[in-house]
A and B are shown apart, each in its own frame.
Chain A
Amino acid sequence: MIRERLLSPYQHGASVLHRLPTGFKLGAALALILLIVLLPRNAWGMHGALAAGLAVIAIASRASIRQLLLRLLLVEPLVIGVALLALLRPDGGVLFVSMITKSTLCLASMILLTATTRFSDILDVLRRLRVPALLITSLALTHRFMFVLVEEMQRMLRARRSRTFTDNRAVTWNGSAQVAGRLFVRASERAERVYLAMCARGWEH
């Protein structure tokens, strides 16, 4: 699970979809998702048409369909988990199916967007939309360092595994907590170095 999530969603390419301006793509994806959410629950024909449209766009983007589907499969359980609440209603069956259909269509739109758009480009659009600078800075830093920290965490986990000879729940919990705690200490030390590097390059608060 970790390994698949680690893959950055962006797939490099030069299709029409890759070359469209990011602002347009972001707006179109938002409009599409809004349309899907607003559609009546039982508009199955429209849902089918949208699914077919998304499939055509996916093929036109020349992204790896296998990877797109893998991403969809990774987030789908979370959708079904929330949808289970609808089954508590007496007439929940149809609602359950329609909510899952709608969410899956929205997920597919977002996955297509992130597969053909760099996150840094999306950040640029957000910056132009006047999202507060502090939020943009922390988004950019998080995007830059999340993979670094996940790799660091995996190295720590590997080191711990190779030194752990008895394995039970208490050991795992304690070990994972040690890794998390140490990871935070290392992250805060890294933040100091990042700050110095940012200042050296003329960053102004």
Chain B
Amino acid sequence: MHIPDGFIDLRTAAVAAALAGVGIAIALRDVRGQLPPRRVPLIGLAAAFVFAAQMLNFPVAAGTSGHLIGAVLVCVLLGPAAAVIVMTTVLVLQCLMFADGGVTALGANVLNMGVVAPTVGYTVYSALRRIGPGGLRSVLLAAGFAAWCSTVAAALACAVQLAASGAAPWNLALPAMGGVHMLIGLGEAVITMLVVAVVARARPELIDGTDSGPMSHRALLAYGGLATLALLVFVAPVASSLPDGLDWVAGRLAFAQQAATLQAAPVEGYSLDVAAASPAMATVLAGLIGAAVAFAVAWLVARALTPASRSPATR
């Protein structure tokens, strides 16, 4: 998902960099306010950990393998503001040291994987923690589903930037990136849950220690508003310059037929029966079904990882 140089135009890059800067500034302020000095080195060590953990292979099928992205994992272990700093550090290092991700696209990459992924992930995580019962099982379920949501959200933000720069067509980039990352997100969810389970068994206080209650409303508003703004700023100019409604819908329809052959999304290429009536509705529906599948997977894995005989209440 690292965007290289030469893929997004300078206007998009500048807007993304500005938004990423705002996100980092908010996170820095929060970290300074909340993080005791004792834990400052942990941010650097956690970034080094993410860097190392991204090298671990998780074989999928036919010789392909996935790896952890880690945004939600760090959120669960260190909290959202620290996670933004950790992910930003990883991305800056990858860019400046290993040429992984472009220099001009650094702002966009930080926005997608360093700001959008942890904030969306943490919002979902803390919302699920709030409604769910306590115990390790619900921590795992919340972390798994949040990991899936954060992966898809980061991919969509990436697709929006690529499309806004004219590197890929709108009606294909969003569903293609979203669809592929709905699958990748399942892997991310399972890996995140497995790792959180290991840490919770070994050092439960590392998870409870950061659990300083649900996110404050002000912080939620700040991060949520930023994420929404990030999407709106890019979508708005395109929405106004779109061809008239009919052409647009026709384009979407053509896509709905094309996509069925293009990708193996969880829902057969978004070409459900409703597709004929309203392709936009079908895409939304496919997203909802994907989310339901991800939630079910997270639930099943959480159950499997916390057998009833070893009741989570005793932990």
Is the A/B pair a real complex?
A: yes
One digit per residue, 1 when the CB lies within 8 angstroms of any chain B CB and 0 when it does not, for chain A 96-135 equals 0001001101110011001000010010000000001011
Indicate if A44 sits at the interface (CB-CB under 8 A): no
Indicate if A55 sits at the interface (CB-CB under 8 A): no
Tell me the bound Cα distance from A111 to B177 in angstroms.
Answer: 28
Interface SS majority for chain B: helix
Shortest Cβ distance from B114 into chain A, in angstroms?
A: 11
Q: Which residues of B contact A28 (CB under 8 A)?
A: none
Tell me the bound Cα distance from A101 to B234 in angstroms.
Answer: 26
Indicate if B286 sits at the interface (CB-CB under 8 A): no
Indicate if A137 sits at the interface (CB-CB under 8 A): yes
Shortest Cβ distance from B128 into chain A, in angstroms?
A: 21
Shortest Cβ distance from A3 into chain B, in angstroms?
A: 10
Indicate if B92 sits at the interface (CB-CB under 8 A): yes
Residue of A nearest to B191 (CB): A177
CB <8 Å contact, A103 and B5:
yes
Q: Which residues of A contact B95 (CB under 8 A)?
A: 110
Q: Which residues of B contact A180 (CB under 8 A)?
A: 53, 56, 68, 191, 194-195, 198
Indicate if A183 sits at the interface (CB-CB under 8 A): yes
CB <8 Å contact, B68 and A187:
no
Once A75-B100, A85-B162 are accepted as A-B contacts, the answer to whether A142 and B194 lie under 8 Å apart by CB is no
Name the segment of B41-49, B116-124, B213-221, B264-272 touching the other chain: B41-49
CB <8 Å contact, B32 and A134:
yes
Shortest Cβ distance from B221 into chain A, in angstroms?
A: 23
One digit per residue, 1 when the CB lies within 8 angstroms of any chain A CB and 0 when it does not, for chain B 154-173 equals 00000100100001110011
Tell me the bound Cα distance from A82 to B8 in angstroms.
Answer: 11
Once A142-B89, A188-B206 are accepted as A-B contacts, the answer to whether A153 and B5 lie under 8 Å apart by CB is no
Residue of A nearest to B49 (CB): A187
One digit per residue, 1 when the CB lies within 8 angstroms of any chain A CB and 0 when it does not, for chain B 53-72 equals 10111110000000010000
Q: Number of A-B pairs whose CB atoms are under 8 Å?
A: 236
Q: Which of A62-86 touch B at CB < 8 Å?
A: 71, 75, 78-79, 82-83, 85-86
Most chain B beta carbons < 10 A, residue from A105, A111, A134 = A134
CB <8 Å contact, B92 and A139:
yes
Shortest Cβ distance from B18 into chain A, in angstroms?
A: 16
Residue of B nearest to A38 (CB): B10
Tell me the bound Cα distance from A152 to B49 in angstroms.
Answer: 10
CB <8 Å contact, A34 and B104:
yes
Indicate if B315 sits at the interface (CB-CB under 8 A): no
Most chain B beta carbons < 10 A, residue from A89, A114, A137, A181 = A181
Partner of B52, one of A85, A88, A153: A153
CB <8 Å contact, B49 and A85:
no
One digit per residue, 1 when the CB lies within 8 angstroms of any chain A CB and 0 when it does not, for chain B 233-255 equals 00000000000000000000000
- Give the interface size class of chain B: 35 or more
Q: Which residues of A contact B3 (CB under 8 A)?
A: 82
CB <8 Å contact, A85 and B86:
no
CB <8 Å contact, B100 and A78:
yes
CB <8 Å contact, B99 and A110:
yes
Tell me the bound Cα distance from A150 to B43 in angstroms.
Answer: 17
Indicate if A200 sits at the interface (CB-CB under 8 A): no
Once A85-B173, A85-B177 are accepted as A-B contacts, the answer to whether A138 and B43 lie under 8 Å apart by CB is yes
Q: Which of A1-28 touch B at CB < 8 Å?
A: 2, 5, 9
CB <8 Å contact, A149 and B48:
yes
Once A89-B169, A135-B24, A205-B37 are accepted as A-B contacts, the answer to whether A194 and B100 lie under 8 Å apart by CB is no
Once A33-B104, A89-B169 are accepted as A-B contacts, the answer to whether A140 and B55 lie under 8 Å apart by CB is no
CB <8 Å contact, A185 and B31:
no
Partner of A79, one of B4, B46, B196: B4
Q: Which residues of A contact B206 (CB under 8 A)?
A: 184-185, 188
Once A33-B5, A142-B47, A187-B45 are accepted as A-B contacts, the answer to whether A86 and B198 lie under 8 Å apart by CB is no
Tell me the bound Cα distance from A178 to B262 in angstroms.
Answer: 36
Indicate if B190 sits at the interface (CB-CB under 8 A): yes
* B binding-site residues for A, Cβ under 8 Å: 2-7, 10, 24, 28, 31-32, 37-49, 51-53, 55-59, 68, 77, 85-86, 88-90, 92-93, 95-100, 102-104, 159, 162, 167-169, 172-173, 176-177, 190-191, 194-199, 202-203, 206, 262
13 A-B residue pairs with Cβ-Cβ distance under 8 Å, sorted by A, are A30-B103, A33-B103, A36-B5, A78-B4, A85-B167, A102-B6, A114-B99, A135-B89, A139-B93, A142-B44, A173-B58, A176-B191, A180-B198
Given contacts A79-B4, A102-B6, A122-B96, 19 further A-B contacts (CB under 8 A): A5-B55, A36-B6, A83-B7, A85-B173, A86-B167, A103-B102, A105-B6, A106-B4, A106-B102, A134-B32, A134-B85, A135-B85, A141-B45, A142-B93, A150-B52, A176-B57, A177-B195, A180-B194, A194-B41
